[in-house]
Amino acid sequence: MQASLKHPNFTSAILEWYRIHQRDLPWRGSRDPYAVWLSEIIMQQTRVAQGTPYYRRFLERFPEVSDLATASEEEVLKLWQGLGYYSRARNLHAAARKVAFEWGGKFPESYKGLLELPGVGPYTAAAIASICFELPHPVVDGNVFRVLSRYFDVDIPVDTGPGRRHFDQLAREVMDPGQIGRYNQALMEFGALQCVPANPDCASCPLVQSCGAHAAGTIGQRPVKQGKTRIRKRYFHYVMPIGPDLQTLLIRRGGPGIWQGLYEFPLLEQEADPTPAEIGALITTHCGTRTTIGTITRFNDAPRVHKLSHQHLYTTFWLARAEGLPEGALPLSEAEELPVPVLIAEFMDTVKNSYF
Ligand code: SF4
């Protein structure tokens, strides 16, 4: 431990806790920037149990950054399907192309250089820079906000400019620049396993004697956040045209937006149930006038609620028997190969298994 550390007890307790409790994760111990970057992008906003199979699949399918760079966007989105936040997948692909085609397959070895990669912000750049190159940049993610705000009992809101600056400074004071890669991973792991959001097990925590929030009884109020995210309600009516040989039509969604580049059925976005005339007009818009519509069936009685971070999608599916679908129509089995939002994949599965 270096003598210059401002909070040596905190720092050494975190490192010692990590030595004992760290999980054996597939990217742990790697200093390969490609593998570390891949793990960091996949694990953002994702639980480890959910993200780990994706990490393995990506690395197996794309062992080198050049493999990812030369893949089609559709293949990348398909492999990503189910992880959500699809802009991360598009950025992942764009960043791989930048590394492979502009930088000769080599990741930048500086914090500033890493920030030039699409989808890499201060947190991810600090993680890669410290883990792969031992550059002294502290990571400050949700876990770190929580641990520091509790241990130092800070009531400055983390989602404000002054809060951000305060925590950046604090994170610098407690980091161990002599083993920064290990230390950063230790602090994030401590937040993920020990100082968890709800009901942390303080009795077993090595920091309990000096923890400010524990002494003050403010654990439940740390970290402080100023703004609550406003959730927008949206009402989606997806109409699945289905031909006599079980062909259907999926349309590639334009951007920008949550599902840019993914495929979906013709969509009406409105709160009220669509009338048969509105459904007919929608199908004509996408399929042309040669397609005729027969029976229309509402598939789910109550809308399914699909929750994203800033919006809740109230989704109803409609099946429309159709004759004369246009050339782009695909058999259901082929449509399943396209990258689609998870709720569409689940719907197609239900249709296939229960309806026909
Ligand atoms: S004592 Fe409790 S609140 Fe404080 S750091 Fe440990 S787990 Fe977190």
- The rounded average pLDDT for each run of 10 residues, N- to C-terminus, in the chain (356 residues) is 67 97 95 97 92 97 98 96 92 98 97 97 96 97 95 94 93 95 97 96 96 94 85 93 91 84 94 92 91 90 87 93 91 91 90 72
pLDDT at 8: 78
Ligand 1 pocket member 222 (CB < 6 A):
no
Ligand 1 pocket member 77 (CB < 6 A):
no
What is the pTM (predicted TM-score) of this model? 0.80
Q: What is the mean pLDDT of the chain?
A: 92
Q: Are 305 and 313 in contact (CB under 8 A)?
A: yes
Q: For residue 202, give the ligand 1 atom closest to its CA.
A: 2
pLDDT at 355: 59
Atom 2 (ligand 1): residue with closest C-alpha? Answer: 202
Ligand 1 pocket member 150 (CB < 6 A):
yes
Alpha-carbon torsion (202, 205, 209, 214), positive or negative: negative
- Cα–Cα dist 36/184, whole Å: 13
Ligand 1 pocket member 329 (CB < 6 A):
no
pLDDT at 4: 57
Q: For residue 206, give the ligand 1 atom closest to its CA.
A: 6
Atom 1 (ligand 1): residue with closest C-alpha? Answer: 208
Measured in angstroms, how far is the CA atom of residue 289 from the centroid of ligand 1?
Answer: 65
pLDDT at 1: 44
Ligand 1 pocket member 223 (CB < 6 A):
no
Measured in angstroms, how far is the CA atom of residue 126 from the centroid of ligand 1?
Answer: 24
E strands, the chain, in order: 232-242, 247-248, 251-252, 263-264, 267-269, 292-298, 304-307, 311-323, 330-331
Ligand 1 pocket member 135 (CB < 6 A):
no
Length of the chain: 356
Sequence spans of domains, the chain? 8-221, 232-355
Among candidate residues 87, 9, 103, 99, the one with its CA nearest the CA of residue 44:
87
- Return the best residue to mutate from 18, 207, 209, 222 for the ligand 1 pocket (most ligand atoms within 8 A of CB): 207
pLDDT at 5: 66
Residues of the chain by 3-state class (helix, strand, coil), percent to 5: 45, 15, 40
**Backbone φ and ψ of 61, nearest 5°:** -75, -35
Q: Which one is catalytic: 16, 40, 337, 346?
A: 40
Catalytic residue list contains 60: no
- Tell whether domain 232-355 is in CATH 3.90.79.10: yes
- Tell whether domain 8-221 is in CATH 1.10.340.30: yes
